[in-house]
A and B are shown apart, each in its own frame.
Chain A
Amino acid sequence: MAAAAPARILVVEDEFLVALELEAILSAGGLEVLGPASTVVAALEIIAERRPDAAVLDVNLRGESVTPVAVSLRRLEVPFVLATAYRADDLPDALRGAVNMGKPVDSRSVVSTLKAMLGASP
């Protein structure tokens, strides 16, 4: 069986340093990064052009909420995790219940969590 292409992970994050770190962590984990996108519109464009296999979402994008992106991903049945310092109680309804990797994110657990989510998808 030919080697599968690396899974494509959409990263949505507005702070360039955090985006840089996430890209490094995911690439080191053998995953391909789409983006990073720093706005809702940029994220939706990436989703439309290159459907991701999974996503890592920052909640607050310079005052804009990532909710529309999460809703689009749910409709496409693309799994995602959050990377936010917000507590569960402070999250918008649409995002509650999503796995939160925290901020700063733990490099080992974000890769293993994403791989587990990808493994679970058909």
Chain B
Amino acid sequence: MDDLYRMLRNGHLEAPGIVDTLDAPIAVLDEDLHVVNVSPAFCQLFRVDREDAIGPALFDFSNGPWESPELRRLLGEIVPRAAAIVAYEVVHDFPGIGERTMLVSARRLRGGAGGRRHIMVQFEDVTERRDPDAARDLLLSETRHRARNLFALAHALARETEADGFTGMAYRDAFIGRFQALLKGQALQEEVSAADFHALARQALEPLADRVRMDPGPVIHLAATQIMPMVMVLHELMTNATTHGALSTAQGMVRLSWTIADRPDGRELEVNWLEEGGPSVAEVGRRGFGSRLMQFGVTKGLGGVVQFNFEPAGLRVSLSLPVP
């Protein structure tokens, strides 16, 4: 805080550029405690746009009033008289980020255009207080956590894979198929340079490479957390096609294509899985499609939606998901 103070005291207060470079969540207030400037970290912490933050009184901000009379007095009267407050604890339920414990530090700034007196307020989110020495132990526990996480995923797969009415061998093959897709997805997710969708699809559908024809679309990288779910969803589509769909006959095949659509709130990847040459859909019925694993994989894992269209020519699946 002292370094920041010195830096700002010697610089031009009004220059937004200085506040923008500060790593900590900081708000600069005028004498009436209205916000005149904020750092990017402040916007990130309170999940607010810069334009919305600047202007209102600090304590009206974020579903206020959230100040105690004491803090208001400290900021309103004591700090302007060249005193500083350090690490004053505030507990409040902030909209969008929940209840947080914040340490508030504030200091008066000298200078500024027209001799105005500004106050710099810094926030530190200490909702989780951790023993600093636990940092190293935490790394070890993260590693252990990843291994345990894989156990949890395998356990979920084992439980979810249909057993009732299937032979032991059929269950085992179904489980192992999904488990291998899971491992493949995990491995791809951990690669430093994440594969683009084309490479990912190629790897996921590799066991049936000669039966799946890809009409490549634009180069697109998924978010890291979408990689494993995508591999599993593709595996489900492949398994369904093999047991009930186009790939259950020698002549049947699958065409995979994709496009990117620009939407108001970001880009969307639209993947099309088209089956053709397989048994008539009317004969096969809709057994096995839209399994819980596919639904959860798409909605929770990918954050997207999936649609199944049973055309006379074959099943058409369209998958839509937001991408970075």
Asked if B128 is at the interface (CB within 8 A of a chain A CB), the reply is yes
Kindly state whether residue B190 has any CB partner on chain A within 8 Å.
Answer: no
Residue A2 at the chain B interface, CB threshold 8 Å: no
- Distance of A94 Cα from B100 Cα, bound (Å): 11
Q: Is the CB of B159 within 8 A of A68?
A: no
Of all chain B residues, the one with the shortest Cβ separation from A13 is: B300
Contact A85 B145, beta carbon cutoff 8 Å: yes
Interface residues on chain B, number (Cβ under 8 Å): 36
Residues of B217-253 whose CB lies within 8 A of A = 225, 229, 232
> Quick one: which of B100, B145, B232 has the most chain A CB within 10 A?
B145
Contacting B153 at CB < 8 Å: which of A18, A36, A38, A90? A18
Question: What separation, in Å, do the CA atoms of A16 and B303 have in the docked complex?
Answer: 10
A65 contacts B98, C-beta separation under 8 Å:
no
Specify which of B98, B144, B292 is in contact with A40 (CB 8 Å cutoff): B98
Q: Are A44 and B297 in contact (CB under 8 A)?
A: no
Task: Decide yes or no whether B96 CB sits under 8 A from chain A.
Answer: yes
Number of A-B contacts (CB under 8 A): 99
Minimum Cβ distance to chain B for residue A38 (Å): 6
Chain A residues with CB under 8 Å of B134's CB are 89-90
**Distance, CA A68 to CA B297, complexed state (A):** 26
Question: Which single member of B96, B97, B144 contacts A85 (CB below 8 Å)?
Answer: B144
Q: Chain B residues near A19: list those with CB within 8 A.
A: 296, 300
Partner of B93, one of A20, A72, A92, A107: A72
For chain A, the count of residues having a C-beta within 8 Å of the partner chain is 35
Q: Within B146-197, which residues are at the interface with A (CB < 8 Å)?
A: 148-149, 151-153, 155-157, 159-160, 182
Cα–Cα, bound, A85→B127 (Å): 21
Whether the Cβ atoms of A92 and B128 lie closer than 8 Å is yes
Chain A residues near B99: list those with CB within 8 A: 68, 71-72, 75
**B322 at interface by CB-CB < 8 Å:** no
> Does chain A have a CB within 8 A of B78?
no
Least Cβ distance of A46 to chain B in Å? 12
